[in-house]
Amino acid sequence: MARGRARCCILVRQRGPMFEAVIRALKHAQIEVAGADRLVLTEHIAIMDLLVLGDALLLPDDDLALATVLKSPLFGLNDEQLYKLAYQRKSSLRSALRAKASEDAAYDVAASGARCSGAKGAYIVAF
């Protein structure tokens, strides 16, 4: 079986001597370097979804953050489901989600996911 070319991406926090050394080492090993592009991770929609998930978990009273993450692919509620959940509620969006969880499987999945993510966030450290 013929071996194909593999691709990889090396992420660095900042450009500096270590970054330059990595580029030199790759070139010295005759590994093609496509370029040292600047990739702004926070501009990618998937990263934005994860950041708003963090907001929703860290700020339980932030209904906008919760609504945003519920509409994201992480939870997948559509406009109609979110409208039914949010319109004319008497409490926080999080409370409304918990209340609706017994009525509809989509809300149950979202509420379970929010609880699970929140519980993991309580003991998982970033670094």
Pair of tokens at residue 10? 């090396």
Q: Take residue 92 and report the two structure tokens written for it.
A: 């926080």
pTM: 0.65
pLDDT in tens, the chain (127 residues): 456 677 777 877 778 888 888 888 988 998 888 766 666 778 889 889 999 999 998 888 899 999 999 999 999 899 999 999 999 999 999 999 998 888 888 888 888 877 766 555 555 554 4
Distance of alpha carbon 96 from alpha carbon 31, whole angstroms: 54
Q: List alpha helices for the chain, DSSP H.
A: 17-28, 45-58, 63-71, 79-86, 93-100, 105-123
Angstrom CA distances, 41 to 2, 33, 56, 95, stand at: 34, 20, 20, 32
